[in-house]
């Protein structure tokens, strides 16, 4: 199978819709079989079948959501993204982040790297605290909207971990990743990549979602409902320590409202040791 294998879109849509219908009806075995059909038709997994299988407890938890899935998800929602996130889901992480940075007397900063910048909610909220802002997002449609707002000096369309590995720009003294961790399982590549692109003493600030201890158990992370990765606080702290960061603060926050329920999470501010 070469990389140019054409996807049978009709068969894919049929299998995906069948999987969703079985899942909704509680017919888990049938849903799992249909999701496996989906993956055979589309190995890049634009529909996120791998995370849906993990959410059903029937597949290995992938190390992160498939790039093709995250890109498709955000490209589709780019136009309505801010309205949905801010107005409907009550997403206030950028404002909370700004408040915590100020409370800890951190900043002003010379260079911001905003990972998963989306339409620029975090970049816009922190704009007056930074001299120079760079934004990265996997979704070209999102980056176009951010570009129209003129919030960043530099914007790239890239997957976060790839960018951190390849980037040769001047190092940053503030790296933010709001609403990025729900699409990542394993956090080493993110934290290690951030450390590699930072000045000593630089600040890494990010949000993550979590689940109650009776659901998460002793797992470092798992795919929860809504196909989003949840991380344990202990795992986040361990991985930060492993990659050379000192945790300055972990705040319990409500990341968003979903189906009228708050989504518990953490807002983490860490400092790269000198």
Q: Is 129 helix (H, G, I), strand (E, B) or coil?
A: helix
Q: Let me know if 128 is exposed, middle or buried by CB neighbors in 10 A (0-12, 13-18, 19+).
A: exposed
pTM value is 0.86
Mean pLDDT by 10 residues, the chain (274 residues): 66 90 93 95 92 91 93 84 74 92 98 97 96 97 96 97 96 97 96 98 97 94 92 98 98 85 93 94
Q: For position 5, what pLDDT does the model report?
A: 61
Residue ranges per structural domain of the chain = 9-61, 81-272
Q: b/e per residue, 236-250, with b = 16+ CB within 10 A?
A: bbebbeebbbeebbb
271/190 Cα distance (integer angstroms) = 15
Q: What is the pLDDT of residues 135-176, one digit of tens each?
A: 999 999 999 999 999 999 999 999 999 999 999 999 999 999
81-272 to CATH, choices 3.40.190.10, 3.40.50.150, 3.40.920.10, 3.40.980.20: 3.40.50.150
Q: Is 106 helix (H, G, I), strand (E, B) or coil?
A: coil
116/69 Cα distance (integer angstroms) = 14
């Amino acid at each position: 199978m070469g990389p140019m294998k054409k996807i049978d879109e009709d068969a894919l849509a049929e299998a995906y819709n069948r999987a969703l219908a079985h899942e909704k009806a509680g017919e888990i075995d049938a849903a799992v079989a249909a999701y496996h059909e989906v993956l055979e038709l589309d190995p890049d997994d634009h529909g996120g079948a791998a995370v849906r299988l993990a959410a059903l407890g029937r597949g290995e938890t992938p190390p992160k959501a498939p790039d093709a899935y995250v890109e498709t998800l955000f490209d589709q929602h780019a136009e309505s993204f801010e309205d949905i996130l801010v107005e409907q889901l009550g997403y206030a992480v950028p404002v909370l982040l700004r408040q915590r940075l100020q409370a800890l007397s951190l900043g002003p900063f010379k260079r911001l790297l905003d990972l998963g910048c989306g339409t620029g909610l975090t970049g816009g909220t922190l704009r007056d605290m930074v001299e120079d802002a760079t934004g990265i997002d996997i979704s070209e449609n999102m980056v176009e909207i951010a570009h129209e707002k003129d919030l960043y000096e530099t914007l790239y369309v890239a997957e976060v971990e790839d960018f951190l590995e390849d980037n040769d720009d001047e190092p940053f003294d503030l790296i933010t990743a709001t609403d990025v961790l729900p699409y990542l399982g394993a956090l080493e590549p993110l934290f290690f990549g951030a450390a590699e692109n930072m000045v000593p003493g630089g600040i890494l600030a990010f949000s993550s979602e979590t689940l109650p201890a009776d659901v998460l158990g002793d797992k470092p992370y798992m795919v929860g409902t809504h196909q989003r990765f949840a991380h344990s606080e202990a795992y986040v702290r361990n991985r930060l320590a492993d990659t050379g960061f000192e945790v300055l603060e972990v705040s319990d926050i409500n990341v968003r409202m979903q189906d009228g329920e708050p989504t518990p999470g953490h807002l983490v501010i860490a400092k790269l040791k000198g």
